[in-house]
C-alpha cells in the first residue's frame, strides 16, 4: 500500500515537472502573447485617461493628426490618408497608430524567419517584451506613446527585409521598391540605397542594377526630387529633418 502511495506521488511529481517543462518550452509563445496583451491594455489605458481628462494631450499622435509640414512628402501623404479615415477624431487616429504598432511588431517575426534565425519564437518573444522598445514606441504616462511615423517607416523597412535575398525576380523588384519607400518615408535608409548602387557598379552586375534602377529611381524622383518644384522651402527641410533624425 505504501509503495502504491509513493508511486502515485512520484507520478504526480513527474507530471508536474512535465507540465512545467512544456510551459518553459513554450516561453517564446508566452512572451509573444504577453507582449500583445500589454499593448492591448495600454490602448485601453490611453482611452481611459483621455476620457476622464479630455484636456490631456495626445503626444506625437496629436501632432501627426494635425498634419504639420515637418515630415518627408510620402509620410505626409500617408498621415493625410489616416487623418481622412479617422473622420476628424483623434481617438480613431490613435487606434490606427496602435494597429500599425502591432503590425510592425508582428512583421519582425517574418524578418527573423526570412533570415533563418534559430529559435526565432523565443527571440521574437523577447523582442515583444523588450522594455526599452516598449517605452520608446508604445508607452507614455503623460499622453500617448505611439509614434505613427516610425511605424510607417518600419512597415516599409520590414517588408523589404522580409523579401530580401529571395530568388524570385518579382521579390527582388518588391525588395527594392519597399527599400526605396522606407528611404522616402524617413531618410534613415537612403545610404543603403546608395550602397546597392555602388555595389552593383563595382561588381558590374548590370542585370541586378537594371532591376534596382527600375524600382528605386521612380520612387526617389516622385517623393524626394519633384517636391523641389512645388514645395516652398523644401530644400531647407532636409536640414530640419537631419536635425530631427527624420
Cα–Cα dist 54/167, whole Å: 53
The label of the residue with cell 503590425 reads: 103
Q: Is the pLDDT of residue 11 over 60?
A: no
Instruction: Grade residue 114 by pLDDT with cuts at 50, 70 and 90.
Output: very high
20 pLDDT band, cuts 50/70/90, is: very low
Grid coordinates representing 103 are 503590425
Question: Mean pLDDT in the chain?
Answer: 86
**pLDDT of 128 above 80:** yes
**Residue 209, pLDDT score:** 96
3 state SS of 145: coil
Dihedral of alpha carbons 192, 198, 202, 207, sign: positive
Rg of the chain over Cα atoms, rounded to whole angstroms, equals 24
In whole angstroms, what is the distance from residue 30 CA to residue 22 CA? 11
pLDDT at 27: 75
Read out DSSP for 20-65? Answer: HHHHHHTHHHHHHHHHHHHHHHHHHHHHHHHHH-TTS--THHHHHH
Q: What is the pLDDT of residue 2?
A: 47
Q: pTM for this one?
A: 0.86
Quick one: pLDDT at residue 92?
97
Amino acid at each position: 500500500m505504501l509503495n502504491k502511495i509513493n508511486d502515485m506521488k512520484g507520478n504526480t511529481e513527474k507530471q508536474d515537472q512535465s507540465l512545467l517543462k512544456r510551459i518553459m518550452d513554450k516561453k517564446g509563445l508566452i512572451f509573444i502573447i504577453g507582449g500583445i496583451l500589454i499593448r492591448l491594455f495600454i490602448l485601453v489605458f490611453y482611452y481611459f485617461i483621455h476620457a476622464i481628462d479630455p484636456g490631456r494631450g495626445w503626444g506625437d499622435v496629436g501632432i501627426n493628426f494635425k498634419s504639420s509640414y515637418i515630415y518627408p512628402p510620402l509620410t505626409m501623404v500617408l498621415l493625410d490618408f489616416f487623418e481622412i479615415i479617422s473622420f476628424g477624431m483623434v481617438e480613431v487616429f490613435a487606434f490606427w497608430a496602435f494597429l500599425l504598432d502591432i503590425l510592425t511588431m508582428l512583421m519582425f517575426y517574418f524578418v527573423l524567419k526570412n533570415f533563418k534565425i534559430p529559435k526565432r519564437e523565443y527571440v521574437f518573444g523577447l523582442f515583444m517584451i523588450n522594455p526599452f522598445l516598449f517605452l520608446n514606441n508604445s508607452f507614455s504616462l503623460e499622453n500617448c506613446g505611439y509614434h505613427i511615423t516610425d511605424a510607417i517607416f518600419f512597415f516599409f523597412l520590414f517588408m523589404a527585409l522580409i523579401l530580401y535575398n529571395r530568388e524570385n525576380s518579382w521579390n527582388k523588384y518588391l525588395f527594392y521598391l519597399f527599400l526605396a519607400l522606407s528611404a522616402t518615408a524617413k531618410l534613415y535608409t537612403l545610404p543603403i540605397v546608395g550602397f546597392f548602387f555602388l555595389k552593383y557598379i563595382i561588381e558590374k552586375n548590370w542585370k541586378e542594377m537594371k532591376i534596382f534602377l527600375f524600382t528605386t529611381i521612380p520612387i526617389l524622383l516622385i517623393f524626394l526630387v519633384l517636391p523641389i518644384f512645388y514645395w516652398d522651402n523644401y530644400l531647407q527641410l532636409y536640414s530640419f529633418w537631419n536635425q530631427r533624425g527624420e
